[in-house]
Amino acid sequence: MNRVKAKKIVVLFSGKGTNFAYIVQQLHQKGFEVVFALTNNPNAQGIDVSRKYSIPYEIVEPKHFDSREAYDRVIVDRVKSYKPDLTVLAGFMRILTPLFTNEVKAINLHPSLLPRHKGLHAIEKSYSDEYSAGGVSVHYVTSELDGGEIIVQKEIEKKSLSFEMYEKKIKSLEKEALVEAIKRVL
């Protein structure tokens, strides 16, 4: 029997882990394997996702390091030890240094139509801008914040949506875009 070897994924997250959970539900053990997860937040709810699906995880807090580079060196070493085909930043709220971006093949999810609204508060900025549509982007991670080549973008019309409805639709779109991007890249 000639089985195709599963593509190995590492996921980095900081918060609720809803995108991480969606990746696991849609892809884990379906041609892909989430081999490791890492968070910078000891209170991240995404830790429960790792436990639920028996995915090895580690908490690496930045406050224990003298510099961003020292932190990123540890992250790179942990990620590389699992030999992933792809690392996915699913709500990992850290700006990574070239030490990471030059050594790890990674993609990132961003809740706006890049290049619009890089950085924090992108959903709020996108909702309030002059464009009729907003959306999400998945892009390769480079040393430029939210500046890597775009893999997938999905958009939604904003008209007649309250901010709460817009945000909810963006959160839903993020999950679809992330899974589509992972499949496309791998």
How does residue 138 score in pLDDT terms, banded at 50, 70 and 90?
very high
User: For the domain that residue 47 is a member of, what is the CATH number?
Assistant: 3.40.50.170
What's the burial of 171, exposed, middle or buried (CB within 10 Å: 0-12/13-18/19+)? middle
Q: What pLDDT does 3 receive?
A: 62
The model carries a pTM of 0.94
Phi, psi of 95 (to 5 degrees): -90, 120
pLDDT tens-digit readout, 6-35: 999 999 999 999 999 999 999 999 999 999
Q: Is the residue at 16 inside a domain?
A: yes
Share of the chain above pLDDT 70, in %: 98
Query: Domain tally for the chain?
Result: 1
Distance in angstroms (rounded) separating the CA atoms of residues 175 and 123: 15
Give the domain range for residue 159.
7-185
Q: Is the residue at 81 inside a domain?
A: yes
pLDDT tens-digit readout, 110-124: 999 999 999 999 999
Q: Which residue of the set 28, 64, 110, 139 is catalytic?
A: 110
110 part of the active site: yes
Q: Is the residue at 1 inside a domain?
A: no
